[in-house]
Structure formats: structure tokens, C-alpha cells
Amino acid sequence: MIPYGRQEIIQSDIDAVVEVLQSDFLTQGPKVPLFEQTVANKVGAKHAIAVNSATSALHIACMALGLGQADWLWTTPITFVASANCGLYCGAQVDFVDIDPITYNLCPKALEAKLIAAEREGKLPKILVVVHLCGQPCDMHAIHGLSQRYGFKIIEDASHAIGGKYQGEYIGNCRYSDITVFSFHPVKIITTAEGGMALTNDDQLAENMNLYRSHGVTRDQNRMTHEPDGPWYYQQVELGYNYRMTELQAALGISQTERLDTFVALRHDLAKRYDGLLKELPVKTPWQHPGSYSGLHLYVIRLQLDKIGKTHREVFECLRGQGIGVNLHYIPVHTQPYYQKMGFMQGDFPIAERYYSEALSLPMYHGLTDVQQDTVVGCLRKVLS
């Protein structure tokens, strides 16, 4: 099976992890801060907090921004469930904004219309989680403008987008957001096995996320209610979690970050090749914003079903049957049973649902060979003819 995504591990990655195994610290040592510094420097953010997944990063991001029971979090329906679940973890209510039919990202026009209505009803969101789907940056300039007008905070779920650029700057610099989150799951652009990171330019948000990552416990005297009892002393000042990243993961992350630009450039080569190979087929290839540089985590095509004598599902099954590990990113979150129980219904976000009925993720990863790519396209051509 040619998978839709997978990691690339080379000898220097292995050596980096083995070195940690033979060192004094398997966790809470020097590698995590070094990885944080490496990524923060790379993307141009002031602070980075490494955690055990992007899901954890989204959770501590929402906590640090003060999301609570009376609040609303909005996001896009075309994302992994974690982008919405982080709101539910904090007891907040979640709602969605439909996507743009060209970019597949949260639509700024739909956002504005929904904000106008929400302002009238006194139900403005506290946090908007935008997702750079497939690695393509959202229209952050427009969304940031709306955040100024309506007073919401912005989290960029950049799980697909590390190494990509918006207006010539690396995604993650938080120029138009409060916090940016990366994922290091093995299908993503760089990996630490499991892992994630939250970046911010705000000292207070960084300090709070740092607390929430590790039990809400501090050794900083300024955060304590009284003088330390002695040198052993720490205080729990918030309710936090154990979301820490290990030293092994951080060492792997440092090693992988060295190849980040190469990984993304290679994904662009693969995408260009797909664009050419798919030209004559009844599919819509992904639109790329001319002023942005996508991280290209995913290469999603849309089937022109009116020109194909098969259903979406039949095309998917035929390809899987031939060893092509196609996938579907994503099932609209509002159609998940857990969200339907909260009152969301089929038909609530029609552009997202239409997208879901036609989308197909083709294999896209560093290490996919031209021969494999030709096989993917050959199988697709046969299945669609």
C-alpha cells in the first residue's frame, strides 16, 4: 500500500534519539527547551511550548486564553475533530463557519456575516480556531481585521502548515494571531512520533501555557502565594495536566527541523508533478494562493462526479483495492454523532458538505518516488475512465 502520508527517518534522526537514551535525562532535560528555541527561531516567534500532541497544544492554548463555560469557540467544519474538541474540554460551546469553495479554508465572508448576527444576539465568540487546510494559509489579514472589530482571539491550527509561508513569512510567527499550534504526528511534515507545539509572542500566554502543560505547578516565587518553605518548595497555582514532551521526542524534532525546508520544497515538487499528470482527468486539482507558500501537508483533489460513471465511494474503494492509500480529509466535524447530539444537523454547512462528497487525498510525503506517483495517477486514470 502506498500510504497518503508517512515520516522520513534517517540515520541522524536515529543517532539523535539514541544519544538521549544514553544520557541522564529522558524527560525534563535540555532537549525540549532546545527544540522549542529551534522552532521559535525558525518561524520567528518569541515563545514556544512543546507538548505531547497538537491536541494538547490546542487545549492549553484555549485555557491560556481564558476560555470557559459561558464562552463560544468557532472553527471550520473541515478539520480534524481536535480543532473543535479543545473548546469542549474547557466547557465552552462550539460553532462552525462554513468554508470557502476555492481554498477550502474557513471563509472570511461567512465569518463576517456570522459575527454580525452573533453581535446582535450577544453571542460573539471568544476564540476563533483557523486551520490552514492542506498547509494553505487562511486569509489571516482579513480574519485579523475582523478580530480587531469583534474582539475575539485567534488560534492558528497550523498542524498542516509548518514550513509554509504567509506573505513571505513563516507560518507560526503569530503576526495575525495570539497562538499558533503545530503537530508532529508521523503523517505531518516533520515528526516527533507524537508531539505538538504552541507558539506565541505574548509573555503572559507563554507563562500560562507552560503552567498548564505541567500540572499547574510552579517554582517561580513571583507566582507563589507566600515565600517558599525551603529549597524543595513548589506550588500548584492552577489546575494543569501532564502534557509534557519527552527528551527523545525533542531530539527527534530538532533533527527533523534541520530538513524542514527540504521536506516542504519536495512536497511542492510532488504537487507540481501531480498538477501536470492530472490535467486531463475529470478532477479539480488544489488551488494554490499565488502569494502564499503552502506547507502542502495534503494534496486534495475533487472528483467531478458528473463526468465520472462511479460514485465517490466506488472511486475510493477501487483505489484502495489497488494499493493506493487514498484518504479523506475531513468528515465535516458537525456531522459527527457527538456533535449531532449537540444539535448540529446535516445541511448546516453546505459548502463543507459538498466538499466532503467529492474530496480525495492522494499520497503526498517526502519519499514518494516518481514511479509511485505515476502508479497513483495510472490507477486513478483507470478508475475514472
Ligand X SMILES: *Cc1c(COP(=O)(O)O)cnc(C)c1O
Position 55 contacts ligand X (CB under 6 A): yes
Asked if 298 and 326 touch (Cβ cutoff 8 Å), the reply is no
Nearer to ligand X, 133 or 384 (CB): 133
Closest contact distance (angstroms) between CB of 143 and ligand X is 16
Looking at the Cβ atoms of 55 and 285, the one nearer to ligand X is 55
Q: Is 79 in the site for ligand X (CB under 6 A)?
A: yes
Among residues 94 and 131, whose Cβ is nearest to ligand X? Answer: 131
Which residues make beta-bridge pairs with 50? Answer: 197
Do 162 and 293 contact (CB within 8 A), yes or no? no
Q: Which of 75, 85, 103, 159 binds ligand X (CB under 6 A)?
A: 159
For residues 53 and 201, which CB has a smaller minimum distance to ligand X in the complex? 53
Sequence-ordered list of residues with C-beta below 8 angstroms from that of 125, at least 6 positions apart, any chain: 71, 72, 73, 74, 95, 115, 118, 152
Among 53, 85, 192, 335, binds ligand X (CB under 6 A): 53
Beta-sheet strands, E only, within the chain: 47-51, 72-75, 93-96, 127-131, 153-157, 165-166, 169-170, 179-183, 196-200, 217-218, 235-236, 283-284, 292-293, 299-303, 359-362
74 with 127: CB under 8 angstroms?
yes
Q: Which is nearer to ligand X, 176 or 243 (CB)?
A: 243
Pairing mode, strands 165-166 and 169-170: antiparallel
Cell numbers found for residue 139: 486569509
Stretch that binds ligand X, among 50-58, 164-172, 212-220, 344-352 (CB under 6 A): 50-58
Least distance CB 102 / ligand X (angstroms): 19
**Is the peptide bond preceding residue 212 cis, with omega within 30 degrees of 0?**
no
Compute the least distance from the CB of residue 79 to ligand X, in Å: 5
Write out the binding residues for ligand X, residues 189-208 only, by CB under 6 A: 196
Q: How is 101-137 classified by DSSP, letter by letter?
A: TTT-SBPHHHHHHHHHHHHHHT---SEEEEE-GGGPP
- What minimum distance in Å lies between the beta carbon of 54 and ligand X? 3
Supply the minimum distance, in Å, between the C-beta of residue 61 and ligand X.
Answer: 11
Size of the site for ligand X (CB under 6 A): 14
Which strand (E) or helix (H) includes residue 375? helix 370-384
294 contacts ligand X (rule: CB under 6 A)? no
Spatial CA neighbour of 363 closest among 103, 107, 1? 1
Among 47, 160, 165, 334, binds ligand X (CB under 6 A): 160
Whose Cβ is closer to ligand X: residue 143's or residue 277's?
A: 143
185 touches ligand X by CB under 6 A: yes
CB of 356 to ligand X, least distance (A): 15
Rule CB under 6 A: say whether 131 interacts with ligand X.
yes
Q: Is 80 in the site for ligand X (CB under 6 A)?
A: yes
Using CB atoms within 10 A of its CB, is residue 142 exposed (0-12), middle (13-18) or buried (19+)?
middle
Q: How far is the CB of 182 from ligand X (least distance, A)?
A: 8
Evaluated on CA atoms 149, 152, 158, 163, the torsion sign reads: positive
Residue 183 engages ligand X in binding (rule: CB under 6 A): yes
Q: What angle do CA 283, 345, 100 make, to 5 degrees?
A: 40
Contacting residue, 39, 48, 49, 54, with ligand X by CB under 6 A: 54
Site string for ligand X, 81-100 (x = CB under 6 A): -xx-----------------
What is the contact surface with ligand X in residues (CB under 6 A)?
53-55, 79-80, 82-83, 131, 157, 159-160, 183, 185, 196
